[in-house]
Amino acid sequence: MKEKNKLLQSIIEGIQEKKGKNITQIQLKGIQGAICDYFVICEGNTPTQVSALAESVEEVVKKNTKESPIRVQGQQRAEWIGMDYGNIIVHIFVPELRQYYNLDHLWEDALMERVPALD
């Protein structure tokens, strides 16, 4: 498995483990103006769940790939946490902020894939 795919799958696994909802993987590679190759966007019902999702992503990624995020923002309020893994940026929102910022539709020409949540 390629390292990028292993990182991407580990991020998604971390989200699924804590029951993250509405997971979307957006491939930005090759799109002019894109700041990374992938966005992974999901939501938690509450700031507490948003924090738990971010912690789970960090733990699963570290376990599977030995990588740590370059930077994590938003942990104080935990309504929108951004995690920078270089070529993959993870956005974890409460539903209201996800709808407000609407990052899912920022790049209309990007390849979007909905990822099923685990029950």
Kindly report whether the global pTM for this prediction surpasses the value 0.75. yes
Output the average pLDDT for the chain: 94
Nearest alpha carbon to residue 9 among 29, 38, 33, 30: 38
Lookup result for tokens 């995690």:
83
CB 93 within 8 A of CB 42: yes
Structure tokens at 17: 């483990």
Cα–Cα distance for residue pair 115/47, rounded to 1 Å? 22
Cα–Cα distance for residue pair 47/80, rounded to 1 Å? 8
Cα–Cα distance for residue pair 52/2, rounded to 1 Å? 27
Structure tokens at 18: 């804590």
Structural domains of the chain, count: 1
Q: What is the pLDDT of residue 46?
A: 98
Q: What is the pLDDT of residue 13?
A: 97
Lookup result for tokens 């992938």:
38
Domain interval for residue 46: 3-115
CB 83 within 8 A of CB 25: no
- pLDDT at position 40 over 80: yes
CB 42 within 8 A of CB 15: yes
- pLDDT at position 1 over 50: no
What integer is the mean pLDDT of 62-75? 97
CATH number at residue 109: 3.30.460.10
Q: What is the pLDDT of residue 4?
A: 58
Cα–Cα distance for residue pair 69/72, rounded to 1 Å? 7
